[in-house]
Structure 1
Amino acid sequence: MSQISVSAEGFVVDAELLGSAFGVAAETIPEEMRNGDITSRSETGVGEDAGKSRLTFYREGRALRLVVNAKGEILSRSSFPVSKGRRPGQ
């Protein structure tokens, strides 16, 4: 399986990718997402960014941002600190 797959319902990101980015075991990722300890946001590119999507995951003051193409291939990846005020749903 590739790290990100795309379907009509959206994106599926491999737990290994998220676990590695946040320094936790991949097995904990589904429960942390269900509990709201990890939240996410996806945005679809327009104009010169058409065909790209930006996926951002938030956990404990850190964010992982992935820019992917329509096939789910990662074009860029960044990680950065965020304040609670910038985290969606808070």
Structure 2
Amino acid sequence: MAFEDDAVQVPAAVIAYGFDLETPMVQSLMRSGELTSLCEKGENEDVGRYRLTFFYKNRRFQLIVNSTGKILQRSVIDFGDRELPAALHKPGI
């Protein structure tokens, strides 16, 4: 991970791993809008942490990283045949 001008750069391989995709697919899926993301900066007791959330089809992949880019936590929610609930696309969820 790298931080530049309040932006977080996540290696495509990390995102691909979270969604069980081939690494070269990540950039094209992001360009087409099929894979989207959300970055939240920690406040209060979470200062110095970031929650990075990625959405693809019926799955959500989430990373919690510190200010140096170290991954502290990762999680995946897969809704199988059901569509990802809209509420999971909102910050703080």
Q: Note the residue ranges of structure 1 that are not aligned, 5 or more in a row.
A: none
Whether 1:12 and 2:9 are equivalent positions in the alignment is: yes
Match of 1:65 in 2: 62
Q: Distance in 1 between matches of 2:52 and 2:38?
A: 6
Q: 1:45–1:51: 8 Å Cα contact kept in structure 2?
A: yes
Q: Which amino acid aligns with 2:86?
A: G
Whole-angstrom CA distance in 1 between matches of 2:63 and 2:27: 18
Structure 1 consecutive aligned stretches of length 4 or more whose deviation exceeds 3 Å: 86-89
Alpha-carbon RMSD = 1.7
AA paired with 1:20?
Answer: Y
Q: Match for residue 53 of structure 1?
A: 50
1:40·1:56 contact (CA, 8 Å) conserved in 2?
Answer: yes
Unaligned runs of 5+ in 2: none
1:19-71 Cα shifts (integer Å, max 9, x gaps):
11111110011110010110000101110001111000000111111011111
Shift, 1:88, TM fit: 3.9
1:85 aligns with 2:86: yes
Is contact 1:45-1:53 (8 Å) kept? yes
**Partner residue of 1:38?**
35
